[in-house]
Amino acid sequence: MEKEQFNPNDFRERFSEYSIEDCIDAFNSDVGNPGWVSARGRFHAALMERFLESGYDCSSFIDVDGGKHGARSMSVSKKIRIEGDKIIT
């Protein structure tokens, strides 16, 4: 059996082909999951990138100003949905 190659951009590539609704479904399916592994970090980073590129206002769950640590962050504690020109919790 051939070992699968690690691709650090796997989620970015996958989500680039998803509709924004599909990305919201993927995000919502992960809400409440207490586990953490590096793949989940890549999953969230790719979703955050996709949401920010979507043109929707995502400020209810993504901090783009960097906060006190100087990095963007995304809350994954609540499910999200589209309402008008915003994606909200």
pTM of the model: 0.85
Q: Which residue range forms the structural domain that includes residue 53?
A: 10-88
Domains held by the chain: number: 1
In a domain, 4, yes or no: no
In a domain, 72, yes or no: yes
User: Which helix (H) or strand (E) element contains residue 47?
Assistant: helix 38-53
**Token code pair at residue 52:** 């920010």
In a domain, 5, yes or no: no
In a domain, 2, yes or no: no
* pLDDT single digits (tens) 27-72: 999 999 988 898 899 999 999 999 999 999 999 999 988 666 667 8
In a domain, 20, yes or no: yes
In a domain, 44, yes or no: yes
